[in-house]
Amino acid sequence: MKTTSVALGVYFEDFIKAKIAQGRYNNASEVIRAGLRLLEENESRLTELKTAIREGIDSGVAEGFDLEDHLKTLKAKRTNG
């Protein structure tokens, strides 16, 4: 496994030490990898969201859609459970 040096600053150094002290992680590498996994997941979700938004925009304006009727239907479903 490759070793990389990173300047974290006092805040993140203390954060890492706290996570290790809590017993959730055994060392700084585990904390950093967990953070990178979360970043990777977040980036993936963001990409998926951007794709969905683009697909929605590209699909154009819905025809034959009555907003008032739709809202009435939703309210009725909520009222009737």
pLDDT for 1 equals 83
What separation in angstroms does the CA of 55 have from each of 43, 52, 58, 61?
18, 5, 5, 12
56 is a domain residue? yes
Domain count, the chain: 1
pLDDT for 9 equals 97
1 is a domain residue? no
Instruction: Give the separation between CA 33 and CA 23, rounded to whole angstroms.
Output: 16
60 is a domain residue? yes
Dump pLDDT digits (tens) for 20-63: 999 999 999 999 999 999 999 999 999 999 999 999 999 998 88
Instruction: Give the separation between CA 16 and CA 41, rounded to whole angstroms.
Output: 20
- The boundaries of the domain holding residue 46 are 9-80
pLDDT for 55 equals 97
* pTM (2 d.p.): 0.70
